[in-house]
Structure 1
Amino acid sequence: MSWRGVLTLVLLVAAAVTGWAVWRQRAPEPAAAAAVARPDYVLHDFELVALDKQGKEAFVLRAPELSRSPDDKTLSIATPLFLIPDKEGKRWEVRSKTGWVAADNSEIRLRGKVEATSPPGDSRPSTMKTEQLNVFPDANKAASAVLVTVTGPTSTMQGTGMRADLATNRIQLLSKVSLSHDPTHR
């Protein structure tokens, strides 16, 4: 073999070793991160009854789809309907575009066209409408930081920020409050 053949063979081996070294040091595939975000289960067209720490009904949830995160055990829900009992066992109906439930059922976050209707036969019937509502079933409370409209039989209130006691049907608007009252409307 001539010196040119030996030189060609050495250069081919050097190129192969360099290529192998570069291939080994490339960045890992991002597909591994996508696999972690996958839910550990998904429910379709279901009804779920969640219990509080005393074993009493905290809320009932109906929705077309629910998925549970394997990382933090939270629930993500599409177009949920929550039925939340008041102190007499009658249920508030709360609907929205999306919902999120904490792993321990202590907090529900509702987003997009949220509407909460007081229980049927309530002495002071009311409907709350907002874009964001956080519900705390254990405490039977709800809160919002954005614009809320509360409609009753003879009045409509609007304000930014709200706290509600679902057990007593007491709603408090926090700022920029306006009220229209029509005592003849029933």
Structure 2
Amino acid sequence: MLKNGLYIAFVVTLVIGLLFYGDSPEQLLGSGQDKKAAKIYPYAIAHHASTRHFANDGTLDYEFVASRLEHYQLTEDQAPEDENRVYTLIDLPVLTIFQGEQPWRVEAKKGKLLGDGQSIELWEDVVIRQKNESGTYTQLTTNKLLILPHEKVAQTEETVKINSPRGEMTGVGMVADLAERKITLLGKVRGTHDPI
């Protein structure tokens, strides 16, 4: 009889243990997923960083300034294969693209320099501004922007607002060739134009 009681107690304990394990949250028991969800720390941090890039003929092509850079080099365990493992997060980026006498100035609150260094994603209060010959400004504002500084191209799928001395335009999606001073709004374009 004592053997049957011990056997029943063992089975009941085992069932309760399995139920507890199966219904418990992962935070309590821990799991292999915790390693992937662990905080990722930057490889390097720079404050008040600036860099200049020169064209092949020695002229200043563009200048980049940021209040803070956080550089990440993720391992295979930290990021899936399709995700960019080398990138730099940017606080308060300012990019000045030189083109003739009137450079373009691009500002945002946040940004991300992708591993290849050929593109910069910007978001939060993105502003592109160029001073005209008359001393007035053409200004573009959007929420998110991709800049290709070597090609002097900016593009977005977000809403864009353009203010210039001649009027105001809005549209959804944009491709801007800053070297040619050509801005193409891709859809839902509306605007007002001052008479000439």
Report the TM range for the smaller structure's normalisation: 0.7 to 0.9
Secondary structure at 2:67 match in 1: strand
- CA-to-partner distance for each residue in 1:55-78, whole Å, 9 max, x for gaps? 875532212111111123311101
- Report the Cα offset of residue 109 of structure 1: 0.6
2:119 to 96, 107, 112: 107
C-alpha distance in 1, partners of 2:161/2:36? Answer: 45
Would you say the 8 A contact 1:96–1:110 is kept in 2? yes
TM-score by length of 1: 0.72
The offset of 1:105, in angstroms, is 1.9
Q: TM-score, normalised by structure 2?
A: 0.69
- The one-letter code sitting in structure 2 at the alignment partner of 1:65 is R
How has the CA–CA distance of structure 1 residues 106 and 55 changed in structure 2, closer, same or farther, with 3 Å as cutoff? farther
The residue that corresponds to 1:60 in the other structure is: 63
**Counterpart among 18, 30, 34 of residue 38 in structure 2:** 34
> Which one of 136, 146, 149 corresponds to residue 161 of structure 2?
149
Partner residue of 1:83?
Answer: 96
Unaligned runs of 5+ in 2: 1-29, 75-84
Q: Cα RMSD over matched residues?
A: 3.0
Task: Classify 1:33/1:146 alpha carbon distance in 2 versus 1 (closer, same or farther; 3 Å).
Answer: closer
Q: SS of the residue aligned with 1:39?
A: coil
2:41–2:72: 8 Å Cα contact kept in structure 1? yes
Q: Displacement of 1:102 after TM fit?
A: 1.6
Aligned partners of 1:79, 1:94: CA distance in 2, in Å? 10
SS of residue paired to 2:38: helix
What residue in structure 2 maps to residue 74 of structure 1? Answer: 87
Question: Aligned partners of 1:46 and 1:116: how far apart in 2?
Answer: 20
* Residue 44 (structure 1) aligned with residue 57 (structure 2): no
* Residue 100 to residue 34, structure 1, CA distance change in 2 (3 Å): same
Match of 2:193 among 176, 181, 185: 181
Residues 1:138 and 2:150 aligned together: yes
Q: C-alpha separation between the residues in 2 aligned to 1:97 and 1:67?
A: 14
Could you tell me which of 176, 183, 196 is aligned with 1:171?
Answer: 183
Aligned-residue offset at 1:89: 6.6
1:32 Cα deviation (Å)? 8.0
Measured against aligned partners, the alpha-carbon deviations of 1:72-98 in whole angstroms (never above 9, x if no partner) come to 331110111111222x27421111111
Number of aligned positions between the proteins = 158
Unaligned runs of 5+ in 1: 1-25
- Amino acid corresponding to residue 177 of structure 1 in structure 2: V
Distance in 2 of aligned mates of 1:155 and 1:167: 22
